[in-house]
Amino acid sequence: MDKIKNDFTGEIINIEKIAKDTCKMDIFSSLKQAYAGQFISILCPNKTLRRPFSISNLDNNIITILFKLKGEGTEYLAGLEKKDKVKFLAPLGHGFQIKNKKALLVGAGIGIAPMLFLKKNLEKEHIENYFITGFKSKDETIEGSDETVIGGSVLDNLENIIKEKNIEIIYSCGPVPVLKGVCEISEKHNIDCQVAMEKVMACSIGVCRGCVINLKKNNEIIRASVCKDGPVFEGKEILWD
Amino acid sequence: MGLDKLRTTLKNKEHILELKTPIIGASGTYGYNDEFEDFVDFNYFGAISTKGMTLEKRLGNDGERIFEVQGGMINRIGLENVGIEAFVKEKLPVLKSKKIDFILNIAGNTIEDYKQIAHIAQQNDIKAIEVNVSCPNVKTGCLEFGLNSEGLFGLTKEVRKEYDGFLIVKLSPNTSDIKLLAKAVEDAGADAISAVNTLRGLGIKIDFDGEKFYKKSVKGGLSGPCIKPVALYMVEEIRSAVNIPIIGMGGISKLVDLFEFISAGADAFQIGTANFINPSICSDLAYELDDFMVKNNFKDFEELKRKIREA
C-alpha cells in the first residue's frame, strides 16, 4: 500500500530544557526540506489530536522544534528521551515569502521558533535583518535575537527600529495581541508585513476547517485555514476579531 | 488493488450502492475530496461523504471551532461550505475526472432547501446523497428536522420525490428514541441510515494564574472514541427497528471497532475524527480488514458479517 507522502517517523537525537517550561527537541528523519513558517504535526499517543510545532531549524535531516509545556500533549513530548521515535506529518502549511527587503523579525515568547529559522534563511540569502524578541521574564528567555525585551512589550521600540534601520518588511510570530500590534505598526509605516498565526487545529492538513481565521481579499471576507492556507499570512489581509 | 473481498453492496429494493470497500470517509473530514491525494489513497475507500453542502455558500461559525477532550473532540465548524452551485461547477468535475467515489452530504434550513439540493443532485447524476438532518452546530433548520419523527418523515419523503439515486439519511444521537426516527426515515423511502452524527457536548477549560480564573469553552458536536458506546447502542436500536442498510459510525479507529459495529447491525462504516490523527486511517483499516479476511479464509464481507453476528 502506498504510504502518505507527508507522513514521517523520526528519531529524537536531542531533547533538552532551554528555559523555564521550554524544551528544544531535535528529530532526525528523512525530511530534507522545509521553509521557515512551515510546521510539523506530531502524534501524541495519549491525546486525541496531533500537536503542531513550527520548524525552528532544519539542517542535515534534523528538524528542531521548540515548545512550551502547556498541557498533556507537550508534557508527553517533554517526557520523551533520546532514541525515542516520533511520528509526524511534515512539512505543513505555507511559510514566509522571503523578499529581498531589509527585514525586521519580531518573535514574542515561543513565537521565536520559526523566526530563528527565518533569520538563518535570510542570512543565507544575504538579506539584511534585525531580530527582536520579547519574553515575560528572564528565565523564559530563549537566545538567538539581536535584541531581547524582558517583561515589557516587544512592540514598544518597533517604530524607532523601523525608522533607524530603514526597515522595509516585518516578519512576526507570537500571540495575537503582538501580531495585531505589529500589523498596525507596519500599516502606519506603510511597509509589508507577514505574520505566522496560531490556532487550535484538528486535522492540520486543511480538511476539517477547524482552525480558520477571517481574511479580507478584494473586499470580500473569506475564511482561511491556518494549517493549510497559512500559518503565514499577509498582515494587511487579516481581519482581527 | 487487491481488495476484492471487501466489495460491499448496500441495497434497498431497486436502489443499490456499490462500494469498493465498506469504509467511507465521514462528512467534514475530507472537505470536497478533490485535493488530498498527498495524504490519502482513495483506492481503498468505499466512498467519501463530502462536506455538508447547503444551497448557499456558508462561512460557518466565528471563534474557536475545536476543543479537545479526553478521548475525543468537540467541533463547532457550523457547516462552512462553498454552496451547491460552486460544488457542481468547481468540485464535481474534479471528482468525476479523478473517479473518486463520493456521497454528497446535504443540509438546509428549510424543506425547500433540501428539495432543491436533491434536485440538483438528481440532475447531475450523483449516485448517492446523505441527508444531514442533525448538525448540532446550526441554530435553526436541520437540527429541528432531525429530532422529530414527523418532521423527519416529511423531509425524507420530499427529498425522495426529487431524487432517485441512493438516499441515505444521517441520524442524530441527540434524541430520546432513535427507533422512531429510524422507522420514519425508512417509511419515507430512504435507502439507508447513517448513524450517528456527533453528540451535543460542552468543553470547558479553566486556567488559574495565581490571581484570576480564565475560561475557554466550546459548545458543539462531540466525536471520537469516547462516543463509541453511545453509537453502538444507537446502531443496535436502529437495527431492531428497520430493515434498510445501516452505515455505522462514531469513534471508529481500529479493526475491532468495525467488528463491534457489524455486531450491532452496521453494514458499512464511516470514519470521522480518526482521520485527523491518521489521515490514512481509512485505507489502513480497509487493508487490515482485507488482510484479516484473507488470513482467516472469509469468502466475502457478507460472510464476515454473518459470522460476527452469530457470536
Do the beta carbons of residue B106 and residue B169 sit within 8 Å?
A: no
As given in the structure block, the three cell numbers for residue A51 are 500537536
Place of cell 488559574: B208
A212–B275 CB contact, under 8 Å: no
Pairing assessment for the beta strands B8-12 and B246-248 based on DSSP bridges: unpaired
| pLDDT above 90 as % of chain A | 89
**Chain B closest-CA separation from residue A157 CA (Å):** 28
Type of residue found at B159:
V
Type of residue found at B242:
V
Q: Which residues of B touch A200 (CB under 8 A)?
A: 64-68
Given pLDDT bands bounded at 50, 70 and 90, which one contains residue A2?
A: very low
Q: Which residues of B touch A217 (CB under 8 A)?
A: none
Instruction: Find the mean pLDDT for residues A101-107.
Output: 96
Instruction: Find the mean pLDDT for residues B191-209.
Output: 95
pLDDT at site A1: 44
Rounded to the nearest integer, the mean pLDDT of chain B is: 91
Q: Which CATH architecture has domain A7-92?
A: Beta Barrel (2.40)
Q: CB count, 10 Å around CB of B144? A: 15
The reply to whether B226 belongs to the active site is: no
pLDDT at site A7: 86
pLDDT at site B133: 87
Do the beta carbons of residue A101 and residue A129 sit within 8 Å?
A: no
3-state secondary structure B200-265: EEEEEEEEECCCCEEEEEEEEEEECHHHHHHHHHHHHHHHHHCCCCEEECCCCCCHHHHHHHHHHC
pLDDT at site B36: 66
A202 touches chain B (CB under 8 A): yes
What kind and span of H or E run contains A74?
helix A72-78
Instruction: Find the mean pLDDT for residues B298-310.
Output: 96
Of A5, A50, A210, the CB nearest to B65: A210
Do the beta carbons of residue B198 and residue B223 sit within 8 Å?
A: yes
Q: CB count, 10 Å around CB of B311? A: 7
User: What is the C-alpha R_g of chain A?
Assistant: 17
- Dihedral Cα B178, B181, B182, B185, nearest 10 deg: -170
Q: How many angstroms separate the CA atoms of A12 and A62, rounded?
A: 9
A48–B68 CB contact, under 8 Å: yes
Q: Compute CA distances B52 → A97, A132, B47, B57, B87, whole Å.
A: 34, 45, 15, 11, 11
A200–B68 CB contact, under 8 Å: yes
Rounded to the nearest integer, the mean pLDDT of chain A is: 94
- Residues B296, B301, B303, B305: is their CA dihedral positive or negative? positive
Q: Which residues pair with A65 in a beta bridge?
A: A25
- Model confidence over B116-139: pLDDT tens digits? 999 999 999 999 999 998 755 555
CA contacts within 13 A on the Cβ side of B309? 14
Given pLDDT bands bounded at 50, 70 and 90, which one contains residue A234?
A: very high
Inform me whether the pLDDT recorded for A4 exceeds 60.
no
Find which of B276, B287, B290 to mutate to test the A interface (most A CBs within 10 Å of its CB): B276
* pTM of the complete model: 0.92
> Lowest-pLDDT range, B20-29, B36-45, B127-136?
B36-45
Q: CB count, 10 Å around CB of A84? A: 14
> Domain A96-196 classified CATH 3.40.50.620?
no
Find which of A5, A203, A228 to mutate to test the B interface (most B CBs within 10 Å of its CB): A203
Under 8 Å CB-to-CB from A219, ≥6 apart: which residues? none
- Model confidence over B225-258: pLDDT tens digits? 999 999 999 999 999 999 999 999 999 999 999 9
- Model confidence over B137-187: pLDDT tens digits? 555 555 566 678 888 999 999 999 999 999 999 999 988 899 999 999 999
Nearest to A198 by CA among A145, A238, A148, A150: A238
Do the beta carbons of residue B280 and residue B40 sit within 8 Å?
A: yes
Q: Which residues of A touch B31 (CB under 8 A)?
A: 206-207, 209
Q: CB count, 10 Å around CB of B26? A: 28
pLDDT at site B137: 55
Nearest to B48 by CA among B254, B225, B194, B255: B194
**What CATH number does the domain located at A199-241 have?**
2.10.240.10
Q: Domain B4-310 adopts which CATH fold? A: TIM Barrel (3.20.20)
Domain ranges of chain A: 7-92, 96-196, 199-241
Domain ranges of chain B: 4-310
Tell me what ipTM this predicted complex has: 0.88
* Helix (H/G/I), strand (E/B), else coil: B292: helix
Pairing assessment for the beta strands B72-75 and B66-69 based on DSSP bridges: antiparallel
